[in-house]
Amino acid sequence: MSDITIYTDGSSRGNPGPGGYGTILMAGQHRKELSQGYRLTTNNRMELMAVIAGLQALKKEGMKVSVYSDSQYVVKAVEQGWLKNWIATDFKGGKKNKDLWTIFHRLSQKHQIRFIWVKGHANNPYNNRCDELATAAADGKNLLPDTGYENEKDSLLS
């Protein structure tokens, strides 16, 4: 049994393009929704950002956390050990999203986390709600810069 259940989804309008994430945290009868939009990002970054936002919202350490995501990229990176290899080799070979994976890795050390993959757009009400939050955030006004993505993109062009 988890102390906290987190549902996540990320969205981008174009890949890259404007994007957003949606996150739902649940503990007992308590529920909190989070979302944010970014002006230029990728779908994978938003999927990962949704998880990070959920973990950052936790008020204490040592929680048992179940994260439900429709992103095979995120779920497999953690559950199949890809991330451990990336960390061990300092992301050798130009693995993408090092900035976000590094943040996730630091946060993940504070909790017991398990990931569960859910099929997207398959009538899971929490996943569907996260999708609504993510797409509304991507389509919203006052989008933030995804500085990690924009800086990485700019450094490749310099």
3-state secondary structure of 134: helix
Give the single-character DSSP code of 143. P
Number of domains comprising the chain: 1
Q: What is the pLDDT of residues 22-79, one digit of tens each?
A: 999 999 999 999 999 999 999 999 999 999 999 999 999 999 999 999 999 999 999 9
Task: For 71-103, write each residue's pLDDT tens digit.
Answer: 999 999 999 999 999 999 999 877 899 999 999
**CATH code, domain carrying 62:** 3.30.420.10
Q: Would you please indicate which residues are annotated as catalytic (active-site) residues?
A: 9-10, 47, 70, 121, 131
Distances (CA, A) of 21 to 8, 49, 102, 143: 7, 7, 18, 12
Residue 55 within any structural domain of the chain: yes
Residue 156 placed within a domain: no
Q: What's this model's pTM, rounded to 2 decimal places? A: 0.94
In the chain, DSSP assigns E strands to: 4-12, 17-27, 30-41, 64-69, 112-117
Q: Does residue 145 lie within any of the structural domains? A: yes
Predicted confidence (pLDDT) at residue 158 exceeds the cutoff of 60: no
Residue 4 has pLDDT above 80, yes or no: yes
- Domain of residue 96 covers 4-149
